[in-house]
Chains A and B, each alone.
Chain A
Amino acid sequence: MALTNQNYIAIDDNLIYRPPGFAPQMQDIYAGEYTTCTGKIVGDRIGWKYADTTLTWDALPQSMVDYLIGMSGECTLEFVAPDGTITSEKVIRDSVVQLQNRNTIRGEVWWRNVSLELRFINAHN
């Protein structure tokens, strides 16, 4: 299902509640780095990427947790960037899905305190 509003993110087209405070940070990528004799770092800025991040939810329903658990290898993460554009990035899951508390609310299973670490793969010039 396509991502249409900023209350969600999408992983391989599966809509998941947007984690509170989810704001991927851009970071520069450097290559050819070395430390000078005065301690200065010298290098070439070859592009940027989103910094690896941890997605944390207070609570997620079982159906969405299933999507997270089912992440295998390279996945596509879609989210609404601060400028309102829908951004698509390749990611891989970098940790197991942390599940601490299982609850049943009106017959539906919810998990509290869910988290997982994501690594962004794409680099941009």
Chain B
Amino acid sequence: MPTISEQNNLQIRQPMSVSIELSPEAAGRFAFTLDNTVKVMDHPANRIPIAMSTQSWPMRKLADLQDTGFPLDGSHVLYSTGSGSSVVPSAANGKVGLRGNLNEQLHVHIENDGATIESFTSVSTEASTVECNGTTYQIPSSGYITLEPNAAAVDLYYTPKSPDRRITVSLIAPGARFHIGNDELISCIVSLRSDLKPVGPTLPESEIEIQFYYDEDISASLAAIPDDTPLTYQSGYDDDLSPVRTFYTSDQVTWADNVITIRAVDAIHKLDGQTVYPVLLGSAGSDGRSQTSVNHLPLLMQHEIERAGIYPEIGEGFAWKSGAPLKDATCVVTEQSTRDFIAFVNNFHALGNYFVEGVPHFWPTFVDAGRPKLTYLKPEAQWDIYEEDCGDVKRHVEKKTDAYRYNKTTATLSNLTGTEYVPVGSGTWVKNSGIFIDPDDFVFFATAQYNWDGGFVINIPGWVTGDGSVVAFQNAAVPEPGGMRIGLYLMGPNIPKGVMSDSTYDWNSQVLPWGQNDLLWLQYVEAHQPGADQADIVLQGAKVVTDTVEGETYGDTTGNIADINLGNLVGEYRVGKYDEAAPYYRLFPDTMLLNLLRRSNETGSFTWKGDPRMQPRDVARFHRLDGTVEEITVESITLKHEGGGTTAEIVYRKGVV
């Protein structure tokens, strides 16, 4: 069977399959009455007592002669002649489906608990037509058909395609649902975007626009589809389909001139209106040294993304935590919109000086494009694109930047000695008991970290009090070597007391997201040493003062200077004792700006065959006509499925961004 890679090596390719599914949840629960035209179903009664599935699903095939016969791989089940019996469940997962007799109509009577059935969708196989309350409709090849009977009861009669066919019905559910394949598709334009410009990048939204043929005016059903209804898209070949991308409807789904138009966007819009509260990332060791693991920033990014209801795939290397080279510095994230924050981290991802063979390797990046993924390490080239296969090849060179003039925010602790923390609370902490932290004035992040000096450190370093100052807390009063296990729990307004979130952490450094209205509950879960059933806790704090520094420059100021804002993040923030002789890793601006200055000012675009697996920010090897090979980072992909064919327009920036 063809694969995407094999076909992309050919001058003339087989057409890709496109599969799109839109399945909004609609209110209503149908009751079905069946007669003896239905031969196999899940329940012995003629009336199915539970709703059929509201999502399409593949019914198992019968071991009869209409398909491939009797394969012994468990994919087919035995046929039963018991009318309306439960001899064979439709599927092991308990979903309810219906099957008819060979070459016989299948009759289903539907009622909606006394309410009018305005519209519904049926998904069937092997049926050519369906008669709905006396009107006959052709069923599209996808098997999906949406009808608008506007009646108190509906009688459906499905007719098989040919005498050797047995009808199955896997779904009858309220509302409009679609499966769009090549037969119906007129065009599908998938615009997958990132922003790789060095100054002022945004976190752009990706989108999909679909037009497909549908010869019934079902405008009323379409108008009822709510915004944000998930839509899945994948394409490729039967044995090599791209991973599913999920988009969300953004405009009204419309019907005009037998064409339905759907517009949808990726999940980035869910971040709109969301704010990152000021956060101090890092924790303080018992010796007062500030310790930050480089994974704190992407962890915060992950938290912000998940807080918006987006659950990204986490890339390789993300769990890497301890021993991070940035442990001697801490950073502060200032208050800003979540989209700005993610765009900022995406742009400055080469934070810190974590090098592998002299190359910055720490590379937290978030891309959605229907497949949200948070990656952690520098990407490697995974595609090969040959210029000879590309059309409309363009190259553009931007004005070169030699230096940046920037504003930055600084933060200072009220004490820098590490010995003058202000006690803000103390007590004996008994195993399995907990402490509530008054939430009123506090916003922020907490970290818990095992103290390698033998005790346990819990640090809740970033509480913003009502007057805007930041209080850093420290406890280093657990004497037991090996420490104890501590549970940090979030309790927000939507989380009832007693139901803890799953944020129980062991002694590796962790960040714990804490929203403005959340309670923080600290619970002593268990000791890792016998007898350590209680511990004395002292919470101490110190104020942090932030300031803004403007007009500093970095780079060769005799060349072109570009203005840039670094106010989103505060680096070089240290707590307590600091050993000047120890290796010191600067968060920024040096490393950030150095990496920006290294970024190529060369961009380009070309038309290509297109690969639906490709993501923005993927790195490719671009084989030039002259034999040279350069690495490029894909900024955007516009994948066009039109007239049965597929092409892609790709915009890139030279180098790995």
Contacts and interface: CB of A to CB of B under 8 A. Distances in A.
A28 to B, nearest CB: 8
B645 A36 contact: no
Contact of A45 (B13, B390, B640): B13
A31 interface: yes
Given A37-B391, A40-B388, A32 B647 contact: yes
Contact of A32 (B11, B392, B643): B643
Nearest to A31: B645
A42 B389 contact: yes
14 contacts: A32-B609, A32-B642, A32-B645, A32-B646, A34-B391, A34-B647, A36-B388, A37-B388, A37-B392, A38-B388, A38-B625, A40-B389, A41-B11, A44-B646
B607 interface: yes
B12 A43 contact: yes
A99 B631 CA distance: 65
A47 B15 CA distance: 9
Interface in B1-42: 11-16
Nearest to A37: B393
A46 interface: yes
Given A42-B609, A46-B643, A36 B12 contact: no
B387 interface: yes
A48 interface: no
B243 interface: no
B391 A44 contact: no
B312 interface: no
A83 interface: no
B204 interface: no
Query: Which 8 pairs of residues, A with B, have the shortest CB-CB distance?
Result: A32-B645, A31-B645, A46-B644, A44-B645, A31-B643, A34-B391, A46-B15, A31-B644
Given A32-B640, A32-B643, A43-B645, 7 more contacts: A31-B644, A32-B646, A34-B391, A35-B391, A36-B390, A37-B392, A45-B14
Contacts of A36: 388-391
A122 to B, nearest CB: 14
A42 B16 contact: no
Interface of B: 11-16, 387-393, 607, 609-610, 625, 640, 642-647
Nearest to B391: A34
A110 B647 CA distance: 53
Given A46-B643, A46-B645, A30 B392 contact: no
A44 B14 contact: yes
A97 B645 CA distance: 35
A90 B393 CA distance: 41
A6 to B, nearest CB: 30
A30 B645 contact: yes
A6 B387 CA distance: 51
A42 B391 CA distance: 9
B391 to A, nearest CB: 4
A108 interface: no
Interface in A1-57: 29-38, 40-47
Nearest to B649: A34
Nearest to A47: B644
Nearest to B13: A44
Nearest to A42: B11
Nearest to B648: A32
A5 B642 CA distance: 41
Contact of A31 (B387, B391, B393, B642): B642
A94 to B, nearest CB: 21
Interface in A32-91: 32-38, 40-47
Nearest to A36: B391
Given A43-B13, A45-B14, A34 B392 contact: yes
A34 B11 CA distance: 11
A37 to B, nearest CB: 5
A38 B15 CA distance: 23
A35 B11 CA distance: 11
B126 to A, nearest CB: 20
A46 B645 CA distance: 7
Contacts of A46: 15, 643-645
Contacts of A45: 12-15
A37 B387 contact: yes
A33 B388 CA distance: 15
B459 to A, nearest CB: 57
Contacts of A30: 12, 645
A49 to B, nearest CB: 12
A53 B389 CA distance: 34
**Which of A31, A36, A37, A43 has the largest count of B CB atoms less than 10 A from its CB?**
A36
A4 B607 CA distance: 51
A43 B16 CA distance: 11
A33 B645 contact: yes
A16 to B, nearest CB: 32
B335 to A, nearest CB: 47
B16 A44 contact: yes
B605 to A, nearest CB: 12
B578 to A, nearest CB: 57
Nearest to B182: A46
**Which of A35, A38, A42 has the largest count of B CB atoms less than 10 A from its CB?**
A42
A32 to B, nearest CB: 2
B117 to A, nearest CB: 36
B495 to A, nearest CB: 51
Given A37-B387, A37-B390, A44 B642 contact: no
Contacts of B643: 31-32, 46
Contacts of A35: 391
A27 to B, nearest CB: 13
B625 to A, nearest CB: 7
Nearest to B641: A32
